[in-house]
Structure 1
Amino acid sequence: MSGGGGGGGYKLRCSLPGHELDVRGLARCQLPAEGFVSVSRDRSARLWVPDSPNRGFVELHRMSGHSNFVSSVCIIPSSDTYPRGLVATGGNDHNICVFSLDNPTPLYVLKGHKNTVCSLSTGKFGTLLSGSWDTTAKVWLNEKCMMTLQGHTAAVWAVKILPEQGLMLTGSADKSIKLWKAGHCEKTFTGHEDCVRGLATISNTEFLSCSNDATVRRWLITGECLQIYYGHTNYIYSICIFANCQDFVTTGEDRSVRIWRKGECTQTITLPAQSVWCCCVLDGDDLVVGSSDGIIRVFTESPDRMASTEEIQAFEDELSQATIDPKTGDLGDIKIEELPGKEHLDEPGTKEGQTRLINDGGKVEAYQWNMSEARWMKIGDVVGSSGATQQTSGKVLFEGKEYDYVFTIDVNESGPSHKLPYNLADDPWLVAYNFLQKNDLNPSFLDQVAKFIIENTVGLVPASTNSGLADPFTGGGRYIPGDSSGSASGADPFTGGNRYVPGSTSQPIYPGAAADPFTGRNAYRSASAQVPNLYFPKKEPVTFDQANPAQILGKLKELNNAAPEEQKMPEEDLMQLDKLLSVAANPSGETATAQQLDTLWKAINWPEEIVFPALDVLRLSIKNPTVNETFCSEKEGSQFSSYLLRLMRPSGKQANQLLALRTLCNCFSQEPGKRLMMSQRDTVISQAVGLKGVSNKNMHIALATLTLNYAICLHSVSDLEGKAQCLSVISTVIENVQDLEAAFRLLVALGTVISDDANAAQLAKSLGVDSQIKKYMSVSEPAKVNECCRLILNLL
């Protein structure tokens, strides 16, 4: 151990045996004070509490519920129902188990991931964020999956919910970090050269990440990397922030725990275990560390809590007797005959954690410089170096044991490598099974790994020269399950004046069309504040009804002359569209004829440069029951929705995008259209939200109206995931809109979603929507915006 900061640095407080296999996750409890939870490959989670008056901890109880090893844990904050909080654990069985702190069996199990749940984080109001090998992250609230975050191309190893604003971070084996806002990826951070394994938040605007590239990076959420920290010599698995929100601690595959203060590594604690998987910081800044030997160790800077001199000496003795594989650290290609003897230790080190190798009678020993104590500490014997014991035995030493072979296995090109030790007398299937279990690898690789062992242990030299082995799957020297590539490399015409404006609001096509769809008044005026439920929950869909039929028909005739020869319409067809506009003016009256419908379909298939007046006819006529049934039926609906979505693509013309959006809104006016819109909700919303950045108030109003209509449909059904999707859109779009009418419609949508649904209200708060809408409290005109905002904040 090495010192640094806080009066001599960290020293051992206690060692806690109990787990039978690797300790993979740790989380500090709120209550009991100084308690923490550990999870392990032994399939258990354990609650530890201080063992007064001793310096140690005692296992209070063991939680079980996973059918395979447990790889992640977090504490869900206290609530009225559970004042001590809850424990969430993620496992290789693809499940998340949620426990109370006083019951060993789960309260409930969250199912939905398709592979190992390898990371968990909690935020306000009980929101839970999980990351998985299935490349997704999921947001959970009260036993329900609210949304799935998709965008990474490899396992999501790290997740973190930022303190405010509903922002979330995910780190992945694809080497990237993504920032999410209400379910949408706002930014991707690149810079790490290998898998991102851990995340820690410094503030609302800064965070840290650690990686298999042996670096820590400090980021602004705007995307800038402020600093890179170097010190570890192998994969960094975890990172935690101290109470001052600036200093931090990291753990890694180089057997070390490192304490970082003011940007410098001030102390390195080496453990007698190869993989130091996890850590957490307790009150008083004591450190809890979990490692591959199944032992939890607690370190402290407080002399009152330090272990006895005898216990510390026993720890150092255990450390000195450990064996070190030079491949796991930055030890280089060791030539024993060129190493100095013990006299080299008379010279002091130059920096904290410096490693020095010496030749002690033909044996390579590793020492580490303890800056605070000004001494070299033995951290183990180096095995596998030139001239060490495997040379004489003909075998390879790995983690202190001799093997005939030690293969290097790559699961995927962006993931970590793993060592697979094997003796000829072993059962290759059992070795393959244990290897997959130990390294959290997918069981579906069992056959491939076993066959790899068999094919590479027939008539080959011992594994000390395994770097030359041909991979039977790739043809190279390293094995990538499932990759047979043979290579490991990776991987508008908006117008003004007297010209035609699509969707023009100059003249209503039937009486009452100019009425405020929210209040029933003849103009968009403030509603009386004496009626608290005037705005929401909104019951009927909002549609775009206003137009000038004569102007539309005139534009159709003009552009018909510009249409390709084979698509030009005879005068009779144009008259059919004129009649259809009359039908559209009375949606509950006349029935559209088959000829009119055929003509409309031909018109909307004009080239995109001239199709907009035909889209205006479609937008108006889709409210007619016959037209709605024809275009939105189960038979035709998929083709119709795909047509509209194609017009809405980012590279499309803005007039077409706007009219397609308005048509989608008007589809909700009849039951067939409503059913179609709900069945296509994911695709429609995803495509529509992509238009939020268009600087056009009419586009924003149409987008807000579409969101509102979805909110109206979802209000009366028990579909929390659908409501979560609506809330996500509201939170995302409201950041972009400037027009107060668009903002108002989004507020009505928000109020409609959360009315009579406590879970939806809770989720809205967790996404930070309440803080987003507070700016509308200061709006004086139109007063309906202020009134609506106030009512929503009261609900929240």
Structure 2
Amino acid sequence: CSLYLNLNRGFTEMHCMSGHSNFVSCVCIIPPSDLYPRGLIATGGNDHNICIFTVDNPAPLYILKGHKNTVCSLSSGKFGTLLSGSWDATAKVWLNDRCMMTLQGHTAAIWAVKILPEQGLMLTGSADKTIKLWKAGRCGRTFTGHEDCVRGLAILSEMEFLSCANDASVRRWQISGECLQVYYGHTNYIYSISVFPQCKDFVTTGEDRSLRIWKQGECAQTIRLPAQSVWCCCVLDNGDIVVGASDGIIRVFTESLERTASAEEIQAFENELSQASIDPKTGDLGDINADDLPGKEHLKDPGTRDGQTRLIKDNGKIEAYQWSVSEGRWIKIGDVVGSSGATQQTSGKVLFEGKEYDYVFTVDVNESGPSYKLPYNITDDPWLTAYNFLQKNDLNPMFLDQVAKFIMDNTKGQTLSTSAQFSDPFTGAGRYVPGSSSGSSTVPAADPFTGAGRYVPGSASNAVAPVGGVDPYTGTGAYQSAAAKVENIYFPKKDAVTFDQANPMQILGKLKELNGSAAEEHKLTEDDLITLEKLLSATCNTSAETPTAQQLQTLWRAVNWPEDIVFPALDILRLSVRHPTVNENFCSEKDHVQLIILLLKFLNPKGKEANQLLALRALCNCFVSQAGQKLMMEQRDEIMTQAIEMKFGSNKNIHIALATLMLNYAVCLHKVNNIEGKAQCLSIISTVIEVVKDLEAIFRLLVALGTLISDDTNAVQLAKSLGVDSHIKKYASVSEPAKVKECCRFVLNLL
């Protein structure tokens, strides 16, 4: 990676930066910050790493490790956020030197990533032909329409973006999912796209040897280059266009007369262009019959559009010319090879799972069994390739000799060409030639009463322990003089919030009622009911007895009742799990998996609301003891992934329980200072807080936010990058309850 300094006209190399152990595939600028006022440079490499450089040191400031394959795309956002895409089919969000979250959902290499101007929104484009929109670390929408691998993304505004792909098209999209326009002009893969500042015009580069400039939705200018693959382009702030190509040269094009190259330099470029060799299969030349081509006199007639191509035959050679509107003349862009009378033919590559190979064989293990794809490059060891193929597909290692011999027989002993080749920064291989492959492989308050005296789970109020003499959850003692200075009594929260209130008599009454109508295989005996009554008494502190193994076994049978009658048993579980003995028993290494499987089963968006509510409350109450905290942290990914689905309902008590679950996770994460866990929790809170309306749920989410970002600058920066401040600032003016307004202002102060 080299850093170039612009000195009036031309660029001078300032640093040659090194830190990767293999080729560099992408570069990105991280904007200036207080700590690094000149900004940083990020590079992604084939060694799976990302190197971060300062502008005045050739050695990396630090190296980001975590991807399992080549890092091929990078994008920077506000507050130092960095988004990376990789061949390992994941994207990762980084803040300073830490991975904050991993975006999983694509089924092939992620070749393009962009952070949108609206905080918390990110885009990824993949070899699986799709684009995904991510909100706070979760996939919110998948864009489909491209017919081949997506290679590049560019942002037009907060609401629109562009994409380019191997299907030779550019698409303009709305964030809402609608494809607004499709642009055609390139005749081969489009590798890169970049937008002009302050407008919606853009440039593209591709495998047809061209840089194309698009204005008002039309291709306004085509610039040919003396290199087959034009890998990348970038529009500078002054409107100049920088392109990098497969001949290893970076070229800058400008509209400015002040910066235009000298006549000698332009003539040298045209001479180089005229001497290039063009393979008709890679461009827009069509089928060529040399005998039918006219001579040089054909160039006397002017072209009809900029970039128009004409072929002529001169002294037995076929030459290609391009019309330049600005100069009013035909410019030679090369000699055509591989057509009639030509002697040179370009060999192609085959695309498989987002990477290019010399060969992709189809292997049939037996007549009735499935077929397997075996990719191979002539630089590979056939024995190692055969071994990896058998391992990947779980095939008998006895086939090793047979597969290796098959590779060697079918590659006819080919070896790597000695001519200089530049690698595709996206696939790591040489350029693709159409016709050599079929394309890429195909690789998201209280519960309402229904009648007087009836038992309804959660009908009692949710009391919690006071904090600092004032209970912010119930509002007890919250009155203050208007002149008094408000003190932050809300966060960081030190202890878990639990759901303790219940009416044991109503719970037992409902349990007995449902037991009477239950199927025989589920029915509890009178002794079983007495056992559960004793358990409820022991765990609600109305007796001094310790829960017994028999009581817990009976409870476990009851909570496995059918979904339509299980809720009173779930309520007993919710209350019982607060007892140290029960918590240790159900959350210990022996039985913890069964408990989580049971509770997550009820967090089905199509399930009964009573079961959803009580399962969430039981999860919250697990945090009361050390065994439960350990279990909840170990199973964090599964629990959070399932629990977030509860945000879409309209039951405010479910929202309060979901917010409490996030708050209890925040308490644990604050204690252990787990930044990856904080990132996950922050991303969920930032999505949930946009959906829920109940102010008690909002309050608990605000306390969770404050707890997560207290005394942690990395967490503060991540919260900013997720746009948390924009999601919560409306609550700073809530009049009642006062605790919402006060807590919100304390969180905003930290941000």
Q: TM-score, normalised by structure 2?
A: 0.88
Deviations 1:645-665, CA, capped at 9 Å, x for gaps: 111123322221111111000
Residue of structure 2 equivalent to 1:10:
none
2:661 aligned to which of 661, 684, 706: 706
CA-CA distance at 1:252 after TM superposition: 0.8
2:536 aligned to which of 581, 593, 598: 581
- Please state if 1:171 is matched with 2:119: no
Tell whether the 8 Å contact from 2:472 to 2:739 is kept in structure 1 after alignment: no
- Please state if 1:542 is matched with 2:497: yes
1:520 aligned to which of 454, 463, 471: 471
Residue of structure 1 equivalent to 2:100:
146
Deviations 1:508-549, CA, capped at 9 Å, x for gaps: 8xxx76968994379335465735320000111111111221
Change over 3 Å in CA distance of 1:157–1:490 after alignment to 2: closer
1:101 aligned to which of 55, 58, 70: 55
Cα distance in 2, alignment partners of residues 562 and 245 from structure 1: 70
Change over 3 Å in CA distance of 1:539–1:361 after alignment to 2: same
Change over 3 Å in CA distance of 1:513–1:498 after alignment to 2: farther
Cα distance in 1, alignment partners of residues 533 and 467 from structure 2: 27
Q: Which amino acid letter does the alignment assign opposite residue 138 of structure 1?
A: K
- Give the length in aligned residue pairs: 696
Tell whether the 8 Å contact from 1:411 to 1:417 is kept in structure 2 after alignment: yes
Residue of structure 2 equivalent to 1:24:
none
Cα distance in 2, alignment partners of residues 265 and 452 from structure 1: 48
Cα distance in 2, alignment partners of residues 239 and 364 from structure 1: 31
Tell whether the 8 Å contact from 2:488 to 2:743 is kept in structure 1 after alignment: no
Residue of structure 1 equivalent to 2:6:
50
1:397 aligned to which of 320, 345, 354: 345
Q: Which amino acid letter does the alignment assign opposite residue 287 of structure 1?
A: I
Residue of structure 2 equivalent to 1:484:
none
Change over 3 Å in CA distance of 1:499–1:212 after alignment to 2: farther
Q: Which amino acid letter does the alignment assign opposite residue 114 of structure 1?
A: K
Residue of structure 1 equivalent to 2:26:
72
Q: Which amino acid letter does the alignment assign opposite residue 370 of structure 1?
A: S
Residue of structure 2 equivalent to 1:111:
65
Residue of structure 2 equivalent to 1:532:
487
Q: TM-score, normalised by structure 1?
A: 0.83
Cα distance in 2, alignment partners of residues 449 and 384 from structure 1: 34
1:739 aligned to which of 689, 694, 705: 694
Q: Which amino acid letter does the alignment assign opposite residue 432 of structure 1?
A: T
CA-CA distance at 1:350 after TM superposition: 2.1
CA-CA distance at 1:199 after TM superposition: 0.9
Cα distance in 2, alignment partners of residues 597 and 365 from structure 1: 87
Cα distance in 2, alignment partners of residues 495 and 611 from structure 1: 18
- Please state if 1:762 is matched with 2:709: no
Residue of structure 2 equivalent to 1:229:
183
Q: Which amino acid letter does the alignment assign opposite residue 471 of structure 2?
A: G
Q: Which moved more, 1:298-307 or 1:525-534?
A: 525-534
2:674 aligned to which of 719, 735, 738: 719
Deviations 1:654-679, CA, capped at 9 Å, x for gaps: 22111111100000011111110011
Residue of structure 2 equivalent to 1:432:
379
Tell whether the 8 Å contact from 2:457 to 2:610 is kept in structure 1 after alignment: no
CA-CA distance at 1:552 after TM superposition: 1.0
Residue of structure 2 equivalent to 1:438:
none
Q: Which amino acid letter does the alignment assign opposite residue 186 of structure 2?
A: H
What are the residue-to-residue correspondences of 1:627-706 with 2, within 5 Å?
627-706=582-661
Cα distance in 1, alignment partners of residues 544 and 277 from structure 2: 87
Cα distance in 2, alignment partners of residues 68 and 761 from structure 1: 35
Change over 3 Å in CA distance of 1:758–1:518 after alignment to 2: farther
1:300 aligned to which of 254, 259, 276: 254
Deviations 1:347-389, CA, capped at 9 Å, x for gaps: 222222122222223322111121222222111111111x233
Cα distance in 2, alignment partners of residues 782 and 507 from structure 1: 16
CA-CA distance at 1:575 after TM superposition: 1.6
- Please state if 1:125 is matched with 2:87: no
Cα distance in 2, alignment partners of residues 588 and 135 from structure 1: 56
Residue of structure 2 equivalent to 1:593:
548
Cα distance in 2, alignment partners of residues 372 and 628 from structure 1: 79
Change over 3 Å in CA distance of 1:296–1:407 after alignment to 2: closer
Residue of structure 1 equivalent to 2:519:
564
Tell whether the 8 Å contact from 2:465 to 2:471 is kept in structure 1 after alignment: no
- Please state if 1:602 is matched with 2:549: no
Residue of structure 2 equivalent to 1:183:
137
1:351 aligned to which of 294, 305, 315: 305
Cα distance in 2, alignment partners of residues 448 and 721 from structure 1: 46
Q: Which runs of 5+ in 2 are unaligned?
A: 360-375, 383-388, 393-400, 418-434
Cα distance in 2, alignment partners of residues 620 and 82 from structure 1: 52
Change over 3 Å in CA distance of 1:416–1:459 after alignment to 2: closer
Residue of structure 1 equivalent to 2:509:
554
- Please state if 1:203 is matched with 2:157: yes
Q: Which amino acid letter does the alignment assign opposite residue 99 of structure 1?
A: F
Cα distance in 2, alignment partners of residues 98 and 523 from structure 1: 48
Percent identity of equivalent pairs = 68
Q: Which moved more, 1:198-207 or 1:342-351?
A: 342-351
CA-CA distance at 1:694 after TM superposition: 1.3
Tell whether the 8 Å contact from 1:588 to 1:625 is kept in structure 2 after alignment: no
Residue of structure 1 equivalent to 2:17:
63
Which structure has more relative contact order (CA 8 Å, sep 6+)? It is 1
Q: SS of the counterpart of 1:68?
A: coil
Cα distance in 1, alignment partners of residues 52 and 440 from structure 2: 39
Change over 3 Å in CA distance of 1:450–1:251 after alignment to 2: farther
Cα distance in 1, alignment partners of residues 654 and 542 from structure 2: 25
Change over 3 Å in CA distance of 1:701–1:115 after alignment to 2: same
Q: SS of the counterpart of 2:676?
A: helix
Q: Which moved more, 1:330-339 or 1:571-580?
A: 330-339
Change over 3 Å in CA distance of 1:490–1:160 after alignment to 2: closer
Residue of structure 2 equivalent to 1:409:
350
Tell whether the 8 Å contact from 1:432 to 1:450 is kept in structure 2 after alignment: no
Change over 3 Å in CA distance of 1:522–1:345 after alignment to 2: closer
Tell whether the 8 Å contact from 2:449 to 2:459 is kept in structure 1 after alignment: no
Deviations 1:391-423, CA, capped at 9 Å, x for gaps: xxxxx432xxxxxxx3542223xx375668xxx
CA-CA distance at 1:189 after TM superposition: 0.9
Q: Which amino acid letter does the alignment assign opposite residue 368 of structure 1?
A: Q
Change over 3 Å in CA distance of 1:419–1:350 after alignment to 2: farther
Change over 3 Å in CA distance of 1:753–1:514 after alignment to 2: closer
Cα distance in 1, alignment partners of residues 214 and 107 from structure 2: 31
Q: Which amino acid letter does the alignment assign opposite residue 119 of structure 1?
A: S
Q: SS of the counterpart of 1:179?
A: strand
Tell whether the 8 Å contact from 1:516 to 1:524 is kept in structure 2 after alignment: no
Change over 3 Å in CA distance of 1:453–1:257 after alignment to 2: farther
CA-CA distance at 1:729 after TM superposition: 0.8
Change over 3 Å in CA distance of 1:596–1:291 after alignment to 2: same
CA-CA distance at 1:343 after TM superposition: 2.5
Q: Which amino acid letter does the alignment assign opposite residue 641 of structure 2?
A: S
Q: Which runs of 5+ in 1 are unaligned?
A: 1-44, 391-395, 399-405, 421-428, 436-441, 464-476, 481-486
Change over 3 Å in CA distance of 1:501–1:187 after alignment to 2: farther
Q: Which amino acid letter does the alignment assign opposite residue 540 of structure 1?
A: D
Cα distance in 1, alignment partners of residues 644 and 473 from structure 2: 30
Change over 3 Å in CA distance of 1:384–1:705 after alignment to 2: same
Deviations 1:568-617, CA, capped at 9 Å, x for gaps: 01112112212222122129954111221111011001111111111011
Change over 3 Å in CA distance of 1:700–1:765 after alignment to 2: same
Change over 3 Å in CA distance of 1:134–1:521 after alignment to 2: closer
CA-CA distance at 1:718 after TM superposition: 2.5
Tell whether the 8 Å contact from 1:704 to 1:745 is kept in structure 2 after alignment: yes
